[in-house]
Amino acid sequence: MANEMYKDFDRWNKLKKSLENKIPVFCNERELWWCSIGANIGTETSGKNELFERPVLILQVYNQHSIRIVPLTSKIKNDRFHTKLEYQGRLGWAILSHSKTISAKRLQRKLYKINMFQHEWVLSRLEGINRKRIGSGFPEPRSRVA
């Protein structure tokens, strides 16, 4: 197995157990954070370094424990599943197809807060790919009425 493909699931599981005991941090929508995403399966976005972390954008805060995020990448991706984001003089791409709800216990360090326009742009792009996905590729369910 190639070294860049190796995922240390055992080390991630140890860290994940310690994160479970962590007190959730206070966060807000529009903030960028380093987040312990973890070692994930296949093409799912994984974290890097000792804390298995990656920058994420907080899309929505449901409560002090549960947040909706979208992970970021520095790799240029010009397709409908990514959208460009500028922050602190850098360019990043939000991986729209990997947005998910996570525990706020995974958040490590706050990076930045994007402006409202950028946040709305990411949300509209996310809504756009979700709308296109709904109803495509699957047949309509048939009625059970005989």
CATH of the domain at 77: 2.30.30.110
Report the number of distinct structural domains present in the chain: 1
Q: Are 68 and 101 in contact (CB under 8 A)?
A: yes
96 within a domain of the structure (yes/no): yes
Residue 21 has pLDDT above 50, yes or no: yes
Host domain of residue 85:
3-133
Q: Looking at residue 4, what is its pLDDT?
A: 54
pLDDT in tens, 130-142: 776 555 555 555 5
Residue 6 has pLDDT above 90, yes or no: no
Q: How many CA atoms lie within 13 A of 29 on its CB side?
A: 13
Query: What does the block give as tokens for 111?
Result: 């990076």
Q: How many CA atoms lie within 13 A of 5 on its CB side?
A: 4
Q: pTM score, two decimals?
A: 0.80
